[in-house]
Every structure is written in structure tokens, then in C-alpha cells.
Amino acid sequence: MKRNELSPSNPSPNTREDDAQQAEANRRSAEHSRAVAEHSRADAEIRRERAERERTASEASRQAAEADRAVAEEQRLGAEELRQAAKETQAAAEDLRAAAEEAKSVLDEAKQAQ
């Protein structure tokens, strides 16, 4: 009859205690797994936020560089216009000098003819 007392339908106190210990171990393991998963999720969120900040900073830097490039292009075009104006001014000054020399020559000839 002792055998019937230890049958699976009537587990011994040791088996119940073992089951309780196993259940507690399973609960602790599940809690640990949950904590690890939560920590991993938090780390992933921190990495996502950092990547977003870096992306935002990179975009701001790209926009600043684009603005700087546009300003530099405007300055280059302005400098090119000034260079062209200086070239035209120099040509006009040479034409004026040549006309002045011609006028002086005509005036000198007119004085000599008198």
C-alpha cells in the first residue's frame, strides 16, 4: 500500500516541494529574462535616440555647408563681375589715353601750322 501512497496522483511532500522550487526557479528565470529584455530595449532606445541626434546634427551641418557653398558661389560670381568690370575699365582707360594722345598730336600739329 505504500506504493499507492507515492503514486503520481498522490505525490509525496518532497515532490510538491521540488515542484514549488522548480516553479520558483522558473519564475526567477522568467523575471531575469524580462529584466534582460527590458535592459536591451532601453539600450536600443538610447542608441536610436543617439542616432537620431547624430542624423539631425549631420543634416544641420549639411545645410550649413550648403549655405556656405551658396555664399561662396555668390562671392565668386561677384568677384568675376568685378574682374570683368576692371578689365572693361582698363580697356576704356587705354582707349581714353589713346584718344588723348591723338588729340594732343592734332593740337600740336595745329599749333605748328599757325
Give pLDDT tens digits for 69-105. Answer: 999 999 999 999 999 999 999 999 999 999 999 999 9
What does the pLDDT read at residue 17? 87
Confidence band for 113, pLDDT divided at 50, 70 and 90: confident
pLDDT of 3 > 80? The answer is: no
Supply the pTM of this predicted model: 0.52
- State which H helix or E strand residue 97 sits in: helix 13-113
pLDDT of 8 > 90? The answer is: no
Higher pLDDT, 54 or 111: 54
Q: What gap in Å lies between CA 47 and CA 52, rounded to an integer?
A: 9
